[in-house]
Amino acid sequence: MAKANVDSDTPSQLEQRKIEIYKQDSEFCRHQDNLTWSRFRTAVIIEAGLLMARFFSSSLSLSKTSPPLLGGQIFLLILITGAALLTLIFFSISLKDHAEANRHIARIRLFESDHPLPSRKYYGPSGSLLMFIAVIVIAIVNVVIIISLRPLSFFAA
């Protein structure tokens, strides 16, 4: 019975289905791109808070007036390590969203090869390469910050 439905489809109906799939792929790709960049911005905001907490606490040196657990260097180290892990989670989810969008872009390009559209040339690095470079740079900055917070007096005692 399904074969009868396929045979009864005219070429224009098949073309309409392809166009509908193309539109859905395009919408999904835009949705994934929005998710990617919103998660990337969230990770960057967390990273900015992490850097602000690190340098704000080092300039104030409140550890003498606050309780050792709440204002000490160990608490700050745990807080910054947690924020660094959270940024890595957001970055990995963002890269996964970008990979899913690329799968649909491949299908879009296949449709566009059969139905030529005006092309636009883009010279420069891709967004995924720039995102990957930013993830690596921020991870290195996080490691340097965490190493700089090591409470040497805590481990020496």
Q: Is residue 54 part of a domain?
A: yes
Q: Is residue 91 part of a domain?
A: yes
Domain of 140, in residue numbers = 16-116+125-156
3-state secondary structure of 119: coil
Q: Is residue 130 part of a domain?
A: yes
Confidence band of 1 (pLDDT split at 50, 70, 90): very low
Tell which residue, 54, 60, 56, has the closest CA to residue 78.
54
Question: How far apart, in whole angstroms, are the C-alpha atoms of residue 41 and residue 43?
Answer: 5
CA distances 74 to 28, 53, 65, Å, are 44, 13, 15
- Please enumerate in sequence order all residues whose Cβ is within 8 A of that of 28, keeping only pairs 6 or more positions apart, or say none: 101, 104
Q: What angle do CA 42, 47, 50 make, to 5 degrees?
A: 130
- How many distinct structural domains can be found in the chain? 1
| pLDDT tens, residue by residue, 103-152 | 888 888 887 777 665 666 666 666 667 778 888 888 888 888 777 776 55
Q: Is residue 7 part of a domain?
A: no
Q: Is residue 86 part of a domain?
A: yes
Are 36 and 96 within 8 A, CB to CB? no
* pTM for this prediction: 0.60
In this predicted structure, the answer to whether residue 102 has a pLDDT above a threshold of 60 is: yes
Question: How far apart, in whole angstroms, are the C-alpha atoms of residue 144 and residue 45?
Answer: 18
Q: Quote the pLDDT of residue 72.
A: 65
Q: Is residue 22 part of a domain?
A: yes
